[in-house]
A and B are shown apart, each in its own frame.
Chain A
Amino acid sequence: MKSAWRWSLPFLVFAALAVFLYTGLFRDPREVPSPLIGKPAPAFALRDLHEPGRTFGTTDMRGQVWLLNVWASWCESCRIEHPLLVDLARQKIVPIVGLDYKDKDDLGKKWLADRGNPYSVSIVDGDGRVGIDWGVYGVPETFVVDKEGIIRYKQIGPVNADVLAKTIVPLVRRLQQS
C-alpha cells in the first residue's frame, strides 16, 4: 500500500496543480489592486486650478472623508463618469477633490465650465509627479481617503452608477461614522 502511494505522488501533485491552473484561467492577472490601499495617502501640496496663488494639500482634508478624482481634459472616458460625479457632488455626500492630471490649465478650466464642476477643490498636477506617488496608471482614477488620511479604495477607470451606489457611497458613509 505504501509503495502504491509513492508511485501516485506525481499524479496527485499534478492534480493539485491542474486545479490552480483551472481557477487561474478565470481571473484577470491585470486586475491589480493598488498596493496603497490601507496605507497613508501620499502627501502633496499642489496649486489650485482656479486660484493659482493658493496651494492645497492632503493635510487640508484631515478629519474628513474625501474622494480624489484624477481626470484630464484629454481623457475620453472621463467624459463618461463626469455627469455621475456632478450628480454625487450635488447630493453633498462627500467632498471630491479633482486632480487635473498632465493637462493645460485653460483647457481644464474650460472643460469644467462646459460640463459642470463637481469638485470642492481643483488642483493641478501638470507634470504628473503626484500621479506617480499615487500609483496612477490610467485616467480616470478615483480614490477614497478616510479621516486619518488612509486610502481605503481605488477605482481604476471611470466610476459607474453601480460602483458608486454599491461600493463607494456605502464605504464613505461607513468611514464617516467611524
Chain B
Amino acid sequence: MIPELGHFALVVALLVALVQASVPMWGAARNDMALMAVARPAAMLTAALVAFAFGCLAYAFVTSDFSVLNVAEHSYSTLPTRYKFAATWGSHEGSLLLWVLMLSGWACAVAIASRNLPEAFAARVLAVMGFIAAGFLMFLLFTSNPFARLLPAALEGSDLNPLLQDPGMVVHPPMLYMGYVGFSVAFAFAIAALIGGRLDASWARWSRPWTTLAWCFLTIGIALGSAWAYYTLGWGGWWFWDPVENASFMPWLVGTALIHSLAVTEKRGTFRSWTVLLAIVAFSLSLLGTFLVRSGVLTSVHAFATDPARGVYVLAFLVVVVGGSLALFAWRAGAVGGGASFAPLSRESMLLANNILLVVAMASVLLGTLYPLILDTFDAGKISVGPPYFQAVFVPAMAPLVFLMGLGPVAAWRKAELPALWIRVRWAFGVALVTALLLPLTLGSYRPLVAFALFLALWVATSTVAMVVQRLRGAPQRGLAAKLRANSAAWYGMLVAHVGIAVFIVGVTMVRSYEVERDVRMDIDQAVRVGDYDFTFRGVVPAPGPNYKALVGTIDVSRNGRLVRTLHPQKRVFDASGQTMTEAAIATRIRGDLYVSLGEPVAENGAWGVRVYIKPFVDWIWVGAFIMALGGFIAIGDRRYRIAVKARVAALAARAAA
C-alpha cells in the first residue's frame, strides 16, 4: 500500500509542478497578481509531495519490502539499516528521485525566502524550477518508476552493490546532488531576469547567496566522493578524471567562475550578460552530467545503471532546457548592455582573467570527457583519455589563476596602479618566494616543480595575511575587535576559501611528489621498510560481518624499532553477490597517511600480496576543500543578506499578528 501511495504522490507532484511551471509564468506576462500568487504554494506542495514519495521509498527500503522491484534489486535483509536507507538512492530510479527531491527542496526554499523579491520575478523563478521538476518527474514516472512492484515478492534481495556499502554512500550523494541541483536556483534567476529584461545589481545580489550555498554543498560533495574513493578502492588514488567525476567537477569550475562574476555584477554592474551565461552554463553542465551518468554514452565506474531509452529522454529534456535557455540568451542578452568600463589593470580585469581561466579549464575537461565520444562519432576509433591529458591541460590553466588570487583582492576596482599594488604585496611575495625555494631542501630530493607549487600555495597564504594586516591597520575604528567587525563576512569568507585553495595545493603537491607505493609479497612476520617505517605482516584471520564474511589482516607499523600503530586492512566477501571488496586500513596523521590494503593470498602458507603506501599530506586535499566550503558558508552569513532576512521575518511576524 505504502509504495502505491508514494507512486500516487509522484503523479500528483507532476500535476502540481505543471501548474507551477505554467500559471505563474502566464501571470507574470499578464501582470496578474492572483495567477502569480500560485507560484509559492505550488512550489511548497510539490516539495511536500516529492518528500512524501521519497519517504515512502525509504520506508520500503528500511523495512525490506522485497515486493518492490527496486528494493529487491538493491537491498538485502541483513544489510545494516543505515545502508538500507542509503540504498534508497543506490539505484537509477532512487537517485533520480533524490535529484527531484533536492530540486523541489531548493524551489521550496526559494518560495519561503523570496518574499522581498518583486512578485513577477519570483513567479518566473519558481515557474522555471517547476518546469525542470516536471521534466524530471515525467522521466521518473514514464521510464524509471521507483515503486514498480515485483509479484510474487522476492524472498531475499540481491543486495546493494558492495562498493556502495560505505558511510560515504550515506553522505556523498545527498551533498553532491544538493550542490549539483542547487545551481538550478541561479539558473532560474538568470532565466527569469532574461525574460523580465531586468538584469542589474539587485539581480546579482539575490543570486549570490543561493549560488554560493550550492557551490559549498558541491565542494563538500566532491571532496567526500574523493575521500571515499581514496579509502575504498584500495589503490590510494583520490581523483581519477573519470567521466562522472568530471561531470561533477565541470559545474564546480563554472560555479566558481559564476560566484566571482556575480560579485563584479553586483559591485560594478559589469559582466552582466557574461554572468547570465555562466549561470545558464553551470546548471546545463549539471544536466549534462546527469545525462552522461544516466545514459551510458561513456563508460565509467559510476555508470552502474544505463539504458538508451532513458538516454534519449534525458537528452531531449537537455535540448529543451539548455537549447531553450541559450536561444533565449541569444535573443535577449544583446539588450542587457555592458556596464561600467574598466582599465586593463584593475580588479575587474583580474576577475575577468579568473573567469576565462576557469572556463578554459572547464572546456578542457569537457573536451577530454567527450573526446572519445566525438572520435567515435567520426568512426575514428575508440579511445579513452587518461589522467595525463587532464593534468597536462588543467595545471597550466590553474597556476596563473592561483597567482591572481593573491593580487585580485588587493587591486582597486576600475583602475589599479602597478606601483601601489607592488607595495601592498611585496612582503607577501618575498616571504612566499624565499620559503618556497628553501622548503623543498628539507624534503629530501629537491624538485623545482614542487618549489613552484609550494610558492603558489604560500603566496595565497601570505598575501591573505598581508591583506588582513593592511585592512586592520587602515581601519579607522579603535581596538582590534572593532576593527575586525568593520569588515564584511563576505570578505572574510573569500579569504578563508582562498586559504582552503592553498591548503589543497599543498596536499596535491606533496602527495604527488613524495608518495611511496610498494606492492609486496609478505610472509607471516616478514617486515618491509617503506620510507622511515617498518611494516610487519602478522597474518590474516577470518571474521564475521553483518552481510559479508571478512578476512582481517594485521600489520604492525613501527619506526626506529618502536611500535607506532597496528593496522587491520580487510577483504570482504559479500553473501548475496559473492563480490569481494577491499577495505584499506589507514593511519592518518597531520603529515600524511600510512595506507595498507590487502591484495591476494599468494601461497598456501599464509603469505599475501600487500600494498603499502605512504601518502604525505594527502588529507590536506580534503581539509582544503572543507575550508573552501567553510569560506562559502561564512560569506552567506554576510549582513547584506541578513538584513533582507530580518526584514522578511519582521514582515511575516506583522502578517501573523494581523
Binding between chains A and B? yes
Residues of A within 8 A of B (CB): 3-4, 7-8, 10-11, 14-15, 17-18, 20-27, 29-33
Given A18-B318, A18-B319, A24-B377, A33:B382 Cβ within 8 A: yes
B327 interface residue per 8 A CB criterion: yes
Using A18-B323, A24-B373, A27-B377 as known contacts, list a sample of 13 further A-B pairs with CB atoms less than 8 Å apart, ordered by residue number in A. Answer: A8-B330, A11-B326, A20-B370, A21-B291, A21-B318, A22-B315, A24-B297, A24-B377, A25-B297, A25-B315, A29-B296, A29-B298, A33-B382
Per-residue A-contact encoding for B8-47, CB less than 8 Å = 1, 0 else: 0000000000000000000000000000000000000000
Per-residue A-contact encoding for B257-291, CB less than 8 Å = 1, 0 else: 00000000000000001000100110010000001
Q: Which residues of A contact B248 (CB under 8 A)?
A: none
Query: What CA separation (Å) do A15 and B327 show in the bound complex?
Result: 10
Chain B contact residue count (CB 8 A cutoff):
34
| Structural contact, B323 and A14, CB atoms closer than 8 A | yes
The chain B residue sitting closest to A19, CB to CB, is B377
Q: Which residues of A contact B318 (CB under 8 A)?
A: 18, 21
Q: Which residues of B contact A15 (CB under 8 A)?
A: 323
Q: Which residues of A contact B299 (CB under 8 A)?
A: 29-30
| Structural contact, B329 and A10, CB atoms closer than 8 A | yes
B295 interface residue per 8 A CB criterion: yes
Q: State the Cβ distance, B321 to closest chain A Cβ, in Å.
A: 11
The chain B residue sitting closest to A8, CB to CB, is B330
| Structural contact, B382 and A10, CB atoms closer than 8 A | no
Query: What CA separation (Å) do A32 and B327 show in the bound complex?
Result: 37
The chain A residue sitting closest to B299, CB to CB, is A29
12 of the cross-chain contacts (CB-CB < 8 Å) are A7-B273, A7-B330, A10-B281, A14-B326, A18-B318, A21-B291, A21-B373, A23-B377, A24-B376, A26-B308, A29-B296, A29-B297
Query: What CA separation (Å) do A26 and B311 show in the bound complex?
Result: 10
| Structural contact, B327 and A11, CB atoms closer than 8 A | yes
Q: Which of A3, A4, A25, A31 contacts B295 (CB 8 A)?
A: A25
B372 interface residue per 8 A CB criterion: yes
| Structural contact, A25 and B377, CB atoms closer than 8 A | no
Q: Which residues of B contact A8 (CB under 8 A)?
A: 330
Q: Which residues of B contact A23 (CB under 8 A)?
A: 377
Query: What CA separation (Å) do A92 and B639 show in the bound complex?
Result: 87
Query: What CA separation (Å) do A113 and B296 show in the bound complex?
Result: 43
Query: What CA separation (Å) do A17 and B284 show in the bound complex?
Result: 12
Q: State the Cβ distance, A151 to closest chain B Cβ, in Å.
A: 16
Q: State the Cβ distance, B340 to closest chain A Cβ, in Å.
A: 19
Query: What CA separation (Å) do A24 and B312 show in the bound complex?
Result: 10
The chain A residue sitting closest to B333, CB to CB, is A7
Q: Which residues of A contact B465 (CB under 8 A)?
A: none
Q: Which residues of B contact A3 (CB under 8 A)?
A: 334
Q: State the Cβ distance, A176 to closest chain B Cβ, in Å.
A: 27
Query: What CA separation (Å) do A8 and B332 show in the bound complex?
Result: 10
Q: Which residues of B contact A33 (CB under 8 A)?
A: 381-382
Q: Which residues of B contact A29 (CB under 8 A)?
A: 296-299, 372-373, 376, 382
Quick one: which of B362-398 are within 8 Å of A by CB?
Answer: 370, 372-374, 376-377, 381-382
Q: Which residues of B contact A25 (CB under 8 A)?
A: 295, 297, 308, 311-312, 315
Query: What CA separation (Å) do A47 and B308 show in the bound complex?
Result: 46
Q: Which residues of A contact B141 (CB under 8 A)?
A: none
Query: What CA separation (Å) do A85 and B508 show in the bound complex?
Result: 55
B322 interface residue per 8 A CB criterion: yes
Q: State the Cβ distance, A71 to closest chain B Cβ, in Å.
A: 25
Q: Which residues of A contact B333 (CB under 8 A)?
A: 7
Q: Which residues of B contact A27 (CB under 8 A)?
A: 297, 376-377
Q: Which residues of B contact A22 (CB under 8 A)?
A: 315
